Structure 1
Amino acid sequence: MEMPLATDRLVIRDWSAGDAEAAYEVYGTAQVTHWLTPAMDRVTDVAAMRSVLQAWLEAQPNMIPPRGRWAVERKSDGAVVGGLGIRLLPPFREDLELSWQLHPDAWGQGYATEASRALIEWAFTQDTDELFAVARPNNTRAVATAKRLGMEWVGETTKYYDLSLQVYRIRHSDIAEQR
């Protein structure tokens, strides 16, 4: 499986410079940025989002798979409804974090689970054995998504981002067991 990835309803693809307005609708929304780790201020306007996207686009080719950042696009209308990422967690940069961010209008439709499941399956074809998700304790939506993905709760820590976070993990062997 190579990028872009497709599910029944979604396409997971690289961000493009033309996605600035759609990305701003996600990352410019306090309801989304409030929960991000590391803590991220709301992107203030489309021009600032364009700069963020440019940095992501420049970094992407240098990331060793499965690391990266991707747009989540709805097939039915081509709308970008969110983003996904896999990156190294601080402080030791050993553990890979899976993250998902969706526009509030896309919440509750199963998109985060659908897109993340496809990305997990792809990541496990890239010489990766496990992925982690971290969530602030009150982020019930992220915790529920991690559980729907079959991720196992491994505890609470302040190790990552100096925040008190719930940690979930999925291993390659867990995927085989779920089938």
Structure 2
Amino acid sequence: MNRARVSEGEVVLETDRLLLRRWRVSDAALQRELWTERDPRVPPHRRIAPDGHPTLEDIEGWMRRRDPDTSLGLLAAERRGSGDVIGYCGLIQNVHGQDGEPELAYEFLRRVWRQGYATEASWAVLSWAKESGYRRLWATVRDWNTASRRVMAKLGFVETARVEPDNAYGNSLFYMKDL
């Protein structure tokens, strides 16, 4: 089951186990927890800095200033029934040069890894992207991230020949999927 509702700037995607929705300021602590769990191989600008930034207040501010575009955005992944937020999945602007073709992005708390949530949420986002009129999606995955590489394969993404070398944090591999 994948259902999408888009109305008045709100997006809600439903799967069998998840509700994907816009972030609420009350979700900021969970978002910061994701930052604290990131692998040390993730570049420093995406991890908690030695000075503690981003702080909870920084993240709350980002959530208050969210983009009103209903065809892009990272959606909080909330488990149906329990209501606990366990990560996110969505579409972001592709900064790698494919104009008008967004990038799939997701991240989940370590305690829910290996339960299929990334794949399930991504299928819902792929349907949303297609309904929004996108014809192709991209994704970038670090070469060391074998779990995300497996998710890409399950979703039918194809690894391209493009690689962004990074000796410090691992090469970024570029994946593409026609919708």
TM bucket, shorter chain: 0.7 to 0.9
**Change beyond 3 A, Cα 1:59–1:163:** farther
Structure with greater helix percent: 1
Q: Note the alpha carbon deviations across 1:11-50, whole angstroms, 9 max, x for none.
A: 100000001122222222133x7447x9512377698134
Instruction: Quote the sequence identity (%).
Output: 25
Correspondence 1:17 to 2:3 = no
Contact 1:24 1:46 in 2 (8 A): no
SS at 2:122 equivalent: helix
Structure 1 position 126, deviation (Å): 0.6
**Change beyond 3 A, Cα 1:39–1:89:** farther
Q: 1: distance between equivalents of 2:71 and 2:15? A: 18
Q: Give aligned pairs, total.
A: 167
Correspondence 1:79 to 2:100 = no
Structure 1 position 127, deviation (Å): 1.3
Correspondence 1:30 to 2:42 = no
SS at 1:86 equivalent: strand
Correspondence 1:102 to 2:102 = no
Residue 175 of structure 1 corresponds to none
SS at 1:100 equivalent: strand
Residue 89 of structure 1 corresponds to 94
Residue 151 of structure 2 corresponds to 145
Cα RMSD, aligned residues only: 2.7
Q: 2: distance between equivalents of 1:125 and 1:23? A: 27
Q: Note the alpha carbon deviations across 1:109-150, whole angstroms, 9 max, x for none.
A: 000000011011011111100111110111101101111111
Point out where structure 2 has 5 or more consecutive residues left out of the alignment: 6-10
Correspondence 1:131 to 2:127 = no
**Change beyond 3 A, Cα 1:34–1:103:** farther
Q: 2: distance between equivalents of 1:112 and 1:167? A: 18
**Change beyond 3 A, Cα 1:69–1:53:** farther
Q: Note the alpha carbon deviations across 1:141-171, whole angstroms, 9 max, x for none.
A: 11011111111111232289x9731111111
SS at 1:121 equivalent: helix
SS at 1:60 equivalent: coil
Correspondence 1:164 to 2:137 = no
**What TM-score, normalized by structure 2, do the two folds share?**
0.81
**What TM-score, normalized by structure 1, do the two folds share?**
0.81
Correspondence 1:41 to 2:47 = yes
Contact 1:26 1:81 in 2 (8 A): no
**Change beyond 3 A, Cα 1:84–1:22:** same
Q: 1: distance between equivalents of 2:46 and 2:123? A: 25
